[in-house]
């Protein structure tokens, strides 16, 4: 008997998502079928639903998920780290498969810049094409050959794995790989959404002496305080003047010179100019929050030269960052109660989840699949 799977489908932009049913295919060579248990709702899903990104429709949404192996295709016996795989194992996977053939994949070793035909689960695989189930907001997902599949650490619950979603590996890329936080550093993190909080957590783990979060609204900063993320918290809705924020932040740095590292995770263009003001001479700035193009902003480039600044961008995340996130979960969980970031919804409540994510009334919406 063929198993059927419900899936949340984006059919028309700006319209409610629909639940459809598809047959669950048997996995072909080097492929897997996973029973999804938790799937994250990310800011990108809000943009997709609103039609801000050119994607094929219908598409099964969901590019962050965790679940249990349902069936393994011939040849797929181990995860990417060499752990044996069996049906029932809890797994997660990198949401994209780079082409492996272009200059950025092969020469520059920067697969997030892949110019080939990069497949992204829950974003650019049409639900009309086989295997149909290519998104995580679904009872089952079909993982194609080349997927970076990894068993999740035993100490982490599936809720904890999904709690940071894309933000975890994005922060690994932007906050750790592109800039180096050193022991004793003062780090400013701009933004208190998932990427900001994840970046601040990693700054703590990397040995920062002081982590200052500049963000808002108050509820998010309160949650950060309760989780022990950040030593100082500046509410941008309370302190609306940028010059005043710069003064307050610099007062927290050695000799008022500015921060050693600034991580921008806001998505607001003007935050980049503010990052330059927060930075001490020879500081590093990671611009990780400008995923969506919100246009230009005035900056004073003289300061980049005068302060000898190192400013770096980072686009998305690849296998190295994803595995870095999964492997660091036990360490993150020793310090931070990640499950508290999550608000759960059932699969059939996907429309409410996306509405709440859009309104910013929850920090991390997660769909719980299969036991409703």
Size of the site for Zn ion (CB under 5 A): 9
- Positions 64 through 83 that interact with Zn ion (CB under 5 A): none
Q: Does 44 bind Zn ion (CB under 5 A)?
A: yes
| Residue choice 97, 105, 249, 341 for contact with Zn ion (CB under 5 A) | 105
Residue among 97 and 203 whose Cβ is closer to Zn ion:
97
Q: Which range of residues in 40-48, 54-62, 130-138, 348-356 is near Zn ion by CB under 5 A?
A: 40-48
113 is a site residue for Zn ion (CB under 5 A): no
What strands lie across the sheet with 186-190, from one edge to the other? 232-235, 210-215, 186-190, 259-264, 279-287, 310-313
CB of 314 to Zn ion, least distance (A): 14
From the CB of residue 155, how many other CB atoms can be counted at a distance below 10 Å?
11
Could you give the CA distance from residue 300 to residue 340 in angstroms, rounded to a whole number?
A: 40
- Cβ proximity of 41 and 35 under 8 Å: no
Residues with Cβ within 8 Å of 199's Cβ and at least 6 positions away in sequence, in order, are 171, 174, 175, 189, 263, 265, 286, 288
> Applying CB under 5 A, which part among 13-21, 96-104, 223-231, 285-293 lies near Zn ion?
96-104
Among 7, 9, 33, 42, binds Zn ion (CB under 5 A): 42
Q: Minimum distance between the CB of residue 48 and Zn ion, rounded to whole angstroms?
A: 10
Question: Which range binds Zn ion by CB under 5 A, 16-24, 111-119, 181-189, 249-257?
Answer: 111-119
Among 19, 30, 46, 102, binds Zn ion (CB under 5 A): 102
If the CB atoms of residues 91 and 97 are measured against Zn ion, the closer one turns out to be: 97
- Any contact of residue 114 with Zn ion (CB under 5 A)? yes
Report the alpha-carbon distance of residue 365 to residue 58 in Å, rounded: 22
* Pick from 284, 235, 224, 293: nearest CA to 259: 284
Q: Is 98 in the site for Zn ion (CB under 5 A)?
A: yes
Least distance between Zn ion and beta carbon 170 (Å): 8
Is residue 46 involved in binding Zn ion (CB under 5 A)?
Answer: no
Please, which residues bridge with residue 9 across strands?
18, 60
Looking at beta carbons only, is 116 or 216 nearer to Zn ion?
116
Which residues in the 217-246 window bind Zn ion by CB under 5 A?
Answer: none
51 versus 252: smaller Cβ distance to Zn ion:
51
Q: Which is nearer to Zn ion, 125 or 253 (by Cβ)? A: 125
Pairing of strands 96-97, 232-235: unpaired
Among 99, 223, 246, 248, binds Zn ion (CB under 5 A): 99
Closest CB 325 distance from Zn ion, rounded Å:
13
Using the rule CB under 5 A, is 170 a contact of Zn ion?
A: no
Query: Sheet holding 18-23: strands in order across?
Result: 18-23, 4-10, 59-60
303 near Zn ion (CB under 5 A): no
Site residues (CB under 5 A) for Zn ion? 42, 44, 98-99, 102, 105, 114, 116, 166
């Amino acid at each position: 008997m063929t198993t059927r799977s419900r899936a949340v489908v984006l059919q028309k932009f700006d319209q409610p998502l629909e639940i459809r049913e598809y047959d669950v295919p048997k996995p072909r060579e080097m492929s897997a079928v996973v029973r999804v248990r938790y799937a994250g709702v990310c800011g990108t899903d809000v943009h997709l639903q609103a039609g801000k990104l050119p994607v094929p429709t219908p598409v099964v949404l969901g590019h962050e998920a965790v679940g249990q192996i349902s069936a393994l295709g011939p040849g797929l016996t181990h995860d990417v780290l060499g752990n044996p795989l069996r049906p029932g194992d809890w797994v997660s996977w990198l949401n994209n498969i780079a082409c492996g053939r272009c200059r950025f994949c092969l020469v520059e070793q920067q697969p997030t810049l892949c110019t080939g035909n990069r497949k992204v689960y829950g974003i650019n695989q049409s639900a009309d094409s086989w295997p149909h189930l290519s998104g995580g907001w679904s009872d089952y997902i079909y993982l194609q050959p080349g997927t970076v599949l990894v068993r999740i650490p035993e100490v982490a619950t599936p809720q904890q794995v999904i709690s940071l979603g894309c933000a975890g590996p994005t922060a690994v890329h932007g906050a750790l790989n592109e800039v180096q936080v050193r022991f004793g550093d003062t780090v400013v993190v701009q933004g208190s959404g998932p990427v900001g909080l994840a970046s601040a957590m990693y700054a703590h783990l990397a040995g920062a002496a002081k982590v200052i979060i500049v963000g808002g609204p108050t509820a998010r900063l309160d949650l950060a305080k309760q989780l022990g993320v950040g030593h100082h918290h500046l509410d941008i809705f309370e302190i609306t003047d940028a010059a005043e924020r710069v003064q307050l932040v610099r007062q927290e740095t050695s000799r008022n010179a500015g921060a050693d590292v600034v991580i921008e995770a806001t998505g607001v263009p003007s935050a980049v100019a503010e990052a330059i003001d927060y930075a001490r001479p020879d500081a590093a700035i990671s611009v990780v929050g400008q995923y969506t193009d919100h246009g230009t902003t005035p900056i004073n480039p003289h300061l980049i030269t005068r302060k000898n600044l190192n400013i770096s961008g980072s686009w998305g995340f690849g296998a190295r960052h994803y595995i870095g996130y999964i492997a660091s979960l036990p360490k993150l969980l020793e310090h931070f109660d990640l499950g508290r970031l999550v608000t759960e919804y059932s699969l059939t409540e996907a429309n409410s989840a996306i509405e709440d994510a859009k309104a910013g009334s929850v920090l991390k919406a997660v769909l719980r699949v299969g036991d409703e």
